[in-house]
């Protein structure tokens, strides 16, 4: 390192101006935004970002998956690239920070480095990934970049093929282009992402920066408690085989058990369907959606086993039959320990408090875990809100995150 840039900070005002312009695109009038992938608002946000990049004297790039990037070439032949960013799409009626902050911070970091004419040994690329939220296919752009996307996913998107096809047309993309976006391992040295926490841990602890150790793994089940339909007026309480009792007992013990025995994990019963579902028939069957997460692969397995045992116990308690079928599973994705150390160093140098924590939510970073080292930092979410208009992070915290990203990028990329 020929010159120290440890004093360098992002231009907080310029970042705020850009952030606010972006937040006005698809604004819902209550502080939130609706920019579902390939909607009019999303296309407008993409176009606005492209213009911003082109006006900044950074190079604009778009790959076959529609990922938009600001690119800064280090000038060294065949140099690999350090990637950092997030996504501009949102859930319907989402917040203005989720994804958007990460892209705006990445873009600001790149502008700061560019205007300071810093000698680099790596190319730098600030990226907006397509459809992180899964309007069509969750983590679409990052999966395509990592070479994970397959034809089958493109034919069976969650919103239906027709919507994806017309969306791709609007964004001038195609199945062929999507599948051509894969990058090589050699081309990347890593991926960094700044994101809001979407939880209350940082806020409650009064800590500035969360250094992510892992994106939790998860499992999910379709569970069915099966009893017997009887006339709810004429059968005594003792004689019922009430599927609702088993489902309810399970739902309560899931929470108690996770809080007591798996304090760093979470579990959710997100849905119950009662059959036949009328007031005067004892529920014959309750179908239930269970999801659970852990940052550790062994623990995820233990949690899985413990939860199924709870379901069996609840079924037995009320003399019910139990059916269960897993429908989704993902091992935890570990963040690079080197990147965690670098983030910690940046925080310390900036005088910011930090804590290591796991991310309960999915992020684009995990798509890239087999492609290159990944690293993430979180900034506090007020009240833990996320995916809602009330989602909010204090601007000082946003700037802190951007400066940690800047300093970490410099440590990796400065010649």
- CA dist 80 and 185 (Å) reads 9
Among 2, 4, 152, 236, binds its own copies (CB under 8 A): 236
Contact residue for its own copies among 201, 299, 341, 355 (CB under 8 A): 201
Helix (H) or strand (E) holding 337: helix 337-350
Which CB, 249 or 315, lies closer to its own copies?
249
- Spatial separation of the C-alpha atoms in residues 345 and 159, rounded to whole Å: 43
Give phi and psi for 366, each to the nearest 5. Answer: -70, -25
Binder among 100, 139, 272, 399 for its own copies (CB under 8 A): 272
Residue 198 binds to its own copies (criterion: CB under 8 A): yes
Contact 209, 352 (CB under 8 A): yes
Nearest approach, Cβ of residue 193 and its own copies (Å): 15
Residue 294 within binding range of its own copies, rule CB under 8 A:
no
249 binds its own copies (CB under 8 A): yes
Shortest approach of its own copies to residue 88 CB, angstroms?
19
Interacting residue with its own copies among 27, 230, 308, 313 (CB under 8 A):
230
Q: 277: which DSSP letter?
A: -
Q: Binding of its own copies at residue 205 (CB under 8 A)?
A: no
Exactly one of 269, 315, 379, 406 binds its own copies (CB under 8 A); that residue is 269
Using the minimum distance from each CB to its own copies, give the nearer residue, 290 or 331.
290
- Nearest CB to its own copies, comparing residues 233 and 351: 233
Q: Should residue 251 be labelled a site residue for its own copies when binding is judged by CB under 8 A?
A: yes
User: Considering the rule CB under 8 A, would residue 313 count as an interface residue with its own copies?
Assistant: no
Binding of its own copies at residue 285 (CB under 8 A)? no
- Residue 287's contacts (CB-CB under 8 Å, 6 or more residues apart) are 222, 223, 224, 272, 273, 275
Strand ranges, E, within 6-101: 59-62, 68-72, 81-86
Does residue 202 contact residue 382 with C-beta atoms inside 8 Å?
Answer: no
Q: What is residue 34's three-state secondary structure? A: coil
Strands (E), 227-373: 266-275, 285-294, 321-330, 333-334, 354-359
Angle among Cα 251, 257, 261 to the nearest 5 degrees reads 160
Determine the Cα–Cα distance for residues 373 and 187; give it in Å rounded to an integer: 12
| Separation of alpha carbons 245 and 265, rounded Å | 25
Q: How many CB atoms lie within 10 A of CB 347?
A: 24
- In the list 12, 16, 179, 232, the residue contacting its own copies (rule: CB under 8 A) is 232
Between 106 and 247, name the residue whose CB sits nearer to its own copies.
247
Helix (H) or strand (E) holding 211: strand 209-215
14 lies in the binding site for its own copies (CB under 8 A): no
Q: Per-residue contact track with its own copies, 334 to 363, x per CB under 8 A?
A: -------------------------xxxx-
Q: Which is nearer to its own copies, 7 or 260 (CB)?
A: 260
Q: Which of 31, 147, 159, 384 binds its own copies (CB under 8 A)?
A: 384
Q: How far apart are CA 110 and CA 106, in angstroms?
A: 6
Residues contributing to the site for its own copies (CB under 8 A): 197-201, 216, 218, 220, 229-239, 242, 244-245, 247-249, 251-252, 255, 258-259, 266-272, 274, 277-283, 289-291, 293, 328, 359-362, 384-388
């Amino acid at each position: 390192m020929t010159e120290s840039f440890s004093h360098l900070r992002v231009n907080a005002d310029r970042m705020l101006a850009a952030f606010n312009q972006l937040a006005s695109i698809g604004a819902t009038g209550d502080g939130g935004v609706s920019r579902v992938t390939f909607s009019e608002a999303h296309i407008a946000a993409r176009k606005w970002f492209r213009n911003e990049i082109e006006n900044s004297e950074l190079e604009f790039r778009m790959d076959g998956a529609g990922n938009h990037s600001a690119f800064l070439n280090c000038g060294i032949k065949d140099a690999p690239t350090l990637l950092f960013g997030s996504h501009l799409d949102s859930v319907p009626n989402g917040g203005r920070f989720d994804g958007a902050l990460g892209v705006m911070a990445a873009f600001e970091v790149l502008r700061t480095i560019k205007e300071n004419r810093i000698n680099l040994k790596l190319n730098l690329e600030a990226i907006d990934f397509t459809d992180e939220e899964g309007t069509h296919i969750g983590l679409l752009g990052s999966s395509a970049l990592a070479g994970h996307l397959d034809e089958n996913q493109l034919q069976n998107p969650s919103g239906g093929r027709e919507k994806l096809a017309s969306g791709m047309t609007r964004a001038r993309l195609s199945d062929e282009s999507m599948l051509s976006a894969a990058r090589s391992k050699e081309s990347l040295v890593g991926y960094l992402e700044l994101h809001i926490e979407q939880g209350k841990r940082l806020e409650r602890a009064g800590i500035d920066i969360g250094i992510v150790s892992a994106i939790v793994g998860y499992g999910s089940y379709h569970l069915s408690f099966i009893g017997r339909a009887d006339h709810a007026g004429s059968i005594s309480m003792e004689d019922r085989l009430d599927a609702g009792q088993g489902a309810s007992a399970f739902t309560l013990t899931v929470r108690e058990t996770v809080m007591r025995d798996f304090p760093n994990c979470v579990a959710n019963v997100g849905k119950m369907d009662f059959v036949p579902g009328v007031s005067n028939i004892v529920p014959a069957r309750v179908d239930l959606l269970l999801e659970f997460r852990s940052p550790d692969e062994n623990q995820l397995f233990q949690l899985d086993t413990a939860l199924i045992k709870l379901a069996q116990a609840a079924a037995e308690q009320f003399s019910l039959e139990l059916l269960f079928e897993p429908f989704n599973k993902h091992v935890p994705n570990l963040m690079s320990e080197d990147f965690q150390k670098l983030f910690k160093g940046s925080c310390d140098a900036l005088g910011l408090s930090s804590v290591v924590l796991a991310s309960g939510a999915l992020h684009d970073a995990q798509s890239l875990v087999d492609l290159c080292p990944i690293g993430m930092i979180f900034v506090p979410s007020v009240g833990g809100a996320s995916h809602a208009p009330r989602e909010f992070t204090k601007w000082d915290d946003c700037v802190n995150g951007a400066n940690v990203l800047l300093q970490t990028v410099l440590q990796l990329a400065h010649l």
